[in-house]
Amino acid sequence: MFSKRYKITLLFNANKVYDRQVIQGIGDYLQASQCDWDVFLEEDFVSRLDSLSRWHGDGIIADFDDPEVAKVLQDKNVPVVAVGSSFQNPAQYPDLPYVATDNEALVQAAFEHLRLKGLEHFAFYGMPENPNNRWAIEREQLFQKVVNANGYECSIYRGLETTPDSWQYAINRLADWVQSLPHPVGVLAVSDARARHILQVCDHLGLIVPDRLSVIGIDDEDLTRHLSRVSLSSVAQGCRSMGFEAARLLHKQLQGQTVRSVRKLIGPDRVIERQSTDFKALSDPYVIQAMHFIRHNACKGIKVDQVLDFVKVSRSNLENRFKDDIGHSVHQEIHQAKLNQAMNLLRNTDLSTNDIAELCGYPSLQYMYAVFKKDMGMTPKAYRLSFNNDPESA
């Protein structure tokens, strides 16, 4: 069907989850269409522009969030498809076929997720303004716009660039901002990496997540969410769809079709809720303290007595407070916290069920199976398979 083999280069820095997933989407198109492309990508997945002038190929797909890439390719005499951020100002788009992550849809999804939790205070943790961070400034402006349009106020903090030398100073300034926020507050971080900064600061300050700060990021970056004790909620971008659409547009150009004015906005895949936004509108300070202790210690085999020692009230007092505020007992909350962690590990890791039972504080694998059968109506293995069709190596 295809009479010519085309040489295509991809200009992405795949140390970022965004770029890696866009590349996956390009691969999805190649597999689906069976188009005859020779794809060049640097072996270390870093885009290098110095040799591009000597490159003789047929088409390029590139990340235009990098201003240097955009500058070099703006007048390149081969078909180019740009991938990058959406913009409120149309003048910021290049005069090329452009596939963009829909920043307005991203922040709208994050806001609705926080608002539906019952939160009424909102904040945004962004990035310093520079040419490489135009996408971050877009998200900041759009989030403030959405929050204000719904009748709320929004606190904005861009923070500082982080390096080994500046890290502690940057975190101290972030801590100052976090402590100035009203509580409870829903915080959108411009990326998962920045969300992790907030989780670390809250841990150092003893601020309870999500009861004092509910935190959500953008990217659903696997590496980032494994580097904090509190699992991070995140908005998953539609990056694979972006890559697929970019490859489709390039393929059309290579076939002689005119697509120069095409601009495609791709919305988020979904909001992935984890512990950092598992907010319940709790009013009792003793219940909030107890919930914090349970979340961090349930899988260590704690009993109700340890919770009582932590909050320093009698059992009858705390049990009554729990029933008034959340509708069930302290023991049930410990049970549910362990079960939630087991479900999280089954969904998101390849750990064996035996390892998960141990990590979640169950006395035996058989005991965990009995819990799942009673509460979920299925075995742990069946639960895992309902999310992942790969066979379990338990």
Two domains, one topology: 103-235+273-277 and 285-387: no
Return the structure tokens found at 160. Answer: 């500082």
Return the pLDDT at 393. 38
Q: Which residues of 278-309 are buried (b: 16+ CB within 10 A; e: fewer)?
A: bbeebebebbbbbbbbbbebbbeebebeebbe
Q: What is the mean pLDDT of each run of 10 residues along the chain (394 residues)?
A: 77 81 94 89 65 78 89 83 95 93 97 93 96 94 97 96 90 96 95 94 89 92 70 93 96 87 92 88 83 87 93 93 90 92 87 94 94 94 79 38
Please check whether residue 236 is in contact with residue 191, taking contact to mean a CB–CB distance below 8 angstroms.
Answer: no
Q: What is the largest CA-CA distance in the chain?
A: 80
| Coil vs helix vs strand at 252 | helix
CA distances to 69, 135, 191, 212, 327 from 333, in Å: 52, 40, 31, 19, 10
Q: How many residues does the chain have?
A: 394
Write down the pLDDT at residue 3.
58
CA distance 195 to 276: 10
Asked if 288 and 211 touch (Cβ cutoff 8 Å), the reply is yes
Q: What's residue 394's pLDDT?
A: 36
Q: Cite the beta strand spans of 90-184 per DSSP E.
A: 98-101, 122-125, 154-157
What residues have CB less than 8 Å from 28, skipping those under 6 apart? Answer: 240, 243, 244
Indicate the CATH number of 285-387 among 1.10.150.110, 1.10.10.60, 1.10.1490.10, 3.30.930.10: 1.10.10.60
Specify the pLDDT at position 261.
77
369 phi and psi, to 5 degrees? Answer: -60, -40
pTM as predicted: 0.78
State the CATH class of domain 103-235+273-277: alpha beta
Class for domain 6-100+238-268, per CATH? alpha beta
Closest CA to 40 of 16, 12, 2, 4: 12
Q: How much is the pLDDT for 333?
A: 92
Angle at alpha carbon of residue 209, lines to 137 and 225, rounded to 5° = 65
Place of tokens 């904040």: 123
> Domain ranges in the chain?
6-100+238-268, 103-235+273-277, 285-387
Return the pLDDT at 56: 77
Specify the pLDDT at position 1.
Answer: 46
